[in-house]
Amino acid sequence: MKKKRRIAILTGGGDCPGINAVIRAVTKKAILQYDMEVIGIEDGYHGVIHNRCRKLEYNDVSGILTLGGTILGTSKTANPYRYAIKKGNKIEFKDMSKTAIENINRLDIECLVCIGGDGTLGIAYKLFRDGIPVMGLPKTIDNDIRGTDITFGFDSAVYIATEGIDRIHTTAQSHHRVMILEVMGHNAGWIALHSGIAGGGDIILIPEIAYDVDIIAEKVRERNRKGKRFSIVVVAEGAKPKGGDIVIQRIVKESSDPIRLGGIGFVLGEQIEKMTGIETRTVVMGHLQRGGSPTPFDRVLATRLGTKAVDMIENREFGYMVGVKGDSLAKVPLKDVAKGPRTVPLGDPLIEAARSVDTCFGD
């Protein structure tokens, strides 16, 4: 009997709505159109290092289109090139790439499909350089991957954050308060910018534009003078004051990117209340932005990206990420993706649009 062709899939980094939709798209198309076998690797690159994987059958991916999270599990710390090993209270980093590569080769696959953000895709590029045929798919709520206009998960996170803003709007109005909503996004302001505009935030603070708290306080006072006795501030977790620094929530020592942001909303809240005399409350959206069912947009995007990836594998085009450029899908070399995250350009038309409807960026 002819041996079946095989591919493997892993999901790395923070989860987000739409990952299962991509796993489904890749697996169904590979099985149905190209008669391939699909192996699911568990917990991102952990599974590669410890040989944890299982065969994905059609039925395993049927019914998961709308499901949040990832059926394969993920990891934000596993990096074969810098693998954290706990020794008592200490953590040592070891290069486990040789083991990872041997394990991948043993799977006898045509391609390793890596679904992830810039960290996961950066590792995928290293594996590609080390001889593994890989394909990347851009997953993150942060929308900060180079080479693509949009990542899946972002639209869902913006939807959730916008709902948060809508809900605090009414309570801010009723109580004549300043309400601050802190959103995720790592070092990029995409979620804050989009949800801030969608939710009509009066002040939007993003990492790319250092803010001046005096300007924020004056904006709140000015609104009060005009009879608007409440204000909504949408702040990205990575926002920082001019000449100041980010607020760190925790350090995850075993991670290659150890800083976890969070808490800027509370710092700002205290300052605004003190400076304006207006009662101020902070809400942190946190991981709510990563949970639940993907939006229709993300389900469609995930299906487009996943199925395109399988066609590229069939054409033996490896070392790419499938990205989005305008209305079309694009083949983006992983080499370019690995150059680092994509932040909001200062000339982004959305910033201009927001300014022209009286949104303050604190600058």
Interaction site with ligand F6P (CB under 6 A) = 14, 76, 117, 140-142, 184-186, 237, 260-261, 290
Using CA atoms, how far apart are residues 186 and 184, in angstroms rounded to an integer? 6
Q: Which is nearer to ligand F6P, 75 or 359 (CB)?
A: 75
Task: Provide, rounded to whole angstroms, the least separation between the CB of residue 187 and ligand F6P.
Answer: 8
> What residues have CB less than 8 Å from 5, skipping those under 6 apart?
34, 35, 36, 37, 110
Task: Provide, rounded to whole angstroms, the least separation between the CB of residue 237 and ligand F6P.
Answer: 6
Q: Catalytic residue at 108?
A: no
- Nearest residue to ligand F6P by CB is 184
Environment class of 328 (CB within 10 Å of its CB; exposed 0-12, middle 13-18, buried 19+): exposed
Task: Provide, rounded to whole angstroms, the least separation between the CB of residue 279 and ligand F6P.
Answer: 28
Task: Provide, rounded to whole angstroms, the least separation between the CB of residue 148 and ligand F6P.
Answer: 15
Q: Which of 142, 144, 155, 298 is catalytic?
A: 142
Task: Provide, rounded to whole angstroms, the least separation between the CB of residue 287 and ligand F6P.
Answer: 6
Q: Which is nearer to ligand F6P, 208 or 237 (CB)?
A: 237
Q: Which is nearer to ligand F6P, 183 or 233 (CB)?
A: 183
Q: Which is nearer to ligand F6P, 14 or 136 (CB)?
A: 14
Cite the active site residues: 142
